[in-house]
Amino acid sequence: MSKHSANKTLSSRVEQLWYSSNKAYWLLMPLAWLYGVITALRRFLFRIGLKRQHKLPRPVIVVGNISVGGTGKTPFTLLLCQLLRQQGWQPGIVSRGYGAKIERPTLVTAASRAQDIGDEPLLLAQRSGCPVVVCPDRVAAAQFLLANTASDIIISDDGLQHYALARDVEIVLIDGKRGLGNGQLLPAGPLRERPWRLLQADLVLANTQAHNLADGIMRLGVETARPLVGQATLSHSPVTLVAGIGNPQRFVDTATQAGFIITATRFFADHHKFTPEDFSEISGPVLMTEKDAVKCRDFARPDWFSLAVAAQLDQPSLTKLTTLITELRSRYGT
């Protein structure tokens, strides 16, 4: 078995444990308790000032989650950029650049490669048209963004647990279908923080369907299937789904609802670094997520397509989000 296959198998087994009634997670509870102590101590040190929280001169909106895996942060961030622009803001985005070796703040450009700056930051830059800066140090990234772009409001992508960066608004997304799994902290469960953390957020959205811990619902509407290269079009024909995301079942549901007939699936670990060899036994047409497509364009074939989606909020959630943005305008006097 290859290293990739072994890692994928282990990841799948752990995820099955998190989202099932299997009590074997108790074997990992000592590590989860240790994780809980460490994260609680870290939050306490920030609260009493022994670890410094940096307040920037411009507003900061954090978009994140309390569980690992995909919850729809990227499409929501794109929607948030649109709403901010409608209210006269010039948003900029800071992101960690997961999987890339980044030592200093780096501005994402049209020539950037996913392997150098991360797949999600590249997708956000391409789709939003907003400046995006990547760096594991969110404070340094935000300071660089303000100093080198016209941005007057900062969106911290997947930044809920990065407490060094002070924030004005916290928006948390959860998976409406899978919920919070077994409700345990890592590695016994999928949680980075306990469910009580949701009570501190300004807005909690459940992706796909309602959840009792969420204020409202975010749904993903399908836009179109776009070719990775060339100008080909893809009708609702049989396709092979390829994905390296946190929750591939959501991609299956989205493609099915869009009318595609799925003949085969090839799923990889989240943030998988695709190579041509990954497709050696896959015949087209291939349909993948936009996040995966940005990593495959250098070796893509004419019958490879990405499925674009757009976030849509229910009216109460949209009203609350709009109010939060409006309050930032009055608070900062601009």
* pLDDT tens digit sequence for 104-141: 999 999 889 999 999 999 999 999 999 999 999 999 99
Residue ranges covered by each domain of the chain: 48-218+313-332, 220-311
Tokens describing residue 212: 């009792």
* pLDDT tens digit sequence for 156-173: 999 999 999 999 999 999
pTM across the whole model:
0.93
Which helix H or strand E contains 14, and what residues bound it? helix 3-18
Give bridge partners of residue 243 from the DSSP assignment: 267
CATH 3.40.5.90, domain 48-218+313-332, yes or no:
no
- Inter-residue contact 324 to 202 (CB < 8 Å): yes
Q: Say what percent of the chain tops pLDDT 70.
A: 96
What pLDDT sits at residue 1?
47
Helix ranges restricted to H, the chain: 3-18, 29-48, 73-86, 114-117, 119-128, 138-148, 248-257, 290-293, 315-332
What pLDDT sits at residue 8?
54
Amino acid at 192: R
